[in-house]
Amino acid sequence: MLRSKSGTEWKKSPAHLLLLSKHLSPRVTSDFARGDNWQEVLGEPVAKAINRFKDDNVIDILATDELLDIKYKVTELKQILKSKQIQVSGTKRALIQRLLNADPEGAQKAVADMTVYICTMEGKSIADQYLAHEKEKRTLTEQHVLESLKNAKYKEAAIIVAQFEAEQVFPRGMGIDWEKYNTKHDEIFLNKLFTCKPKVLSALSNEQLYTGRLIGALRRLFSYSDNYLSLPDDFDNPTVYDKSSILHLLMSNAYFHTVIAEAVELHRTLGNIVIEVLTVNDDLVCDECKTLTKHPFEINQVPELPYQKCTCKFGCRCSISARPQY
């Protein structure tokens, strides 16, 4: 959204607000020339948007002492001070201050080619409000998704996530059109996650399984990492696996049954579908898992994954794929 005559219209643009929030820490304009297509979402070149921020005093160029802090390591500062016969003891901040006091013109010249921006107090306030609003939206979305999952409305849960992603400045997933997202695969996966119980997790109670299933569903739908979402600290774990592995095994089992269900559908239309077992290629894979990869299986003959005979330290990491039989 381009700026109006008042110069503040960009404050209604999520893309501009996201760009501003990136300047809560020191940034150079070239940082935004790679990766995400900022010009497309901004509707203008990044440099032009940053100039708008400068005009509206929401970002400013770093002061000389801060630029020196970025440019030089402590050892480099000590070498410079030593060459000028200046004391080299103390903190990095003290070294920079001595250099500024002794040779202010030289210090400014040393960073003259650096243009690094950071939010002003006003810019920080705007960026913080934007990020807080985005965090609240995500939290509300997670709550709506959880409610749908608890009521076994798996399609609804997937649709809520797709609508949320479609509204993001940079939607998750390369090449995914979230506005036309097909939720069928997610529906099957969620159904299997909440109805199938892996034999390797037979020690878990129904309540423990349900907790793991809810967390696994959120991780699947939002692509959350282990660090972002995991089993609670007070989870009473009766298995031989750690909590991270429990979630992996639950989701692996749901994926297994999802592929089998989709393979059955393919078999009805294409015929002669076989299942291949794949495993990680490292020294931690046990011999039992390796035997599964030696030949393909008929749909109704493939052993359930995670493999019950697996002796891998972190649990079975095998997966399956379906293909026509040649």
CB 119 within 8 A of CB 131: no
16 vs 259: CA distance, rounded Å: 41
Highest mean pLDDT among 51-65, 72-86, 118-132, 234-248: 118-132
35 vs 173: CA distance, rounded Å: 13
Q: How confident is the model at residue 116 (pLDDT cuts 50, 70, 90)?
A: very high
Here the tokens at position 131 are 């990020």
For residue 56, the model assigns a pLDDT of 94
Whole-structure pTM value: 0.84
For residue 325, the model assigns a pLDDT of 78
For residue 259, the model assigns a pLDDT of 94
pLDDT tens sequence across 130-183: 999 999 999 999 999 999 999 999 999 999 999 999 999 999 988 899 999 999
138 vs 160: CA distance, rounded Å: 11
Element (H, E) at 109: helix 104-110
Residue 19: CA count within 13 A, CB half-sphere:
36
Domain-by-domain residue ranges, the chain?
Answer: 64-110, 183-324
For residue 6, the model assigns a pLDDT of 41
pLDDT tens sequence across 65-81: 989 998 899 999 999 99
pLDDT tens sequence across 22-57: 999 999 888 887 656 899 999 999 999 999 999 999
Here the tokens at position 244 are 């991270």
CB 224 within 8 A of CB 238: no
Pick left, alpha or beta for residue 90 (phi over 0 → left; psi -120 to 50 → alpha; otherwise beta): left
Q: How confident is the model at residue 13 (pLDDT cuts 50, 70, 90)?
A: very high
156 vs 162: CA distance, rounded Å: 10
The pLDDT of residue 3 is above 90:
no
Grouping H, G, I as helix, E, B as strand and the rest as coil, residue 323 is strand
Q: How confident is the model at residue 270 (pLDDT cuts 50, 70, 90)?
A: confident
Kindly compute the dihedral angle of the four CA atoms of residues 14, 15, 20, 25, in this order, to the nearest 10 degrees: 110
Instruction: Encode 155-179: b = buried (16+ Cβ within 10 Å), e = exposed.
Output: ebbbbbbbebbeeebebeeeeeebe
Query: What value, to the nearest 5°, has the Cα angle with vertex 264 and ends 178 and 223?
Result: 30
Q: How many CB atoms lie within 10 A of CB 12?
A: 10
For residue 283, the model assigns a pLDDT of 87
Grouping H, G, I as helix, E, B as strand and the rest as coil, residue 117 is strand
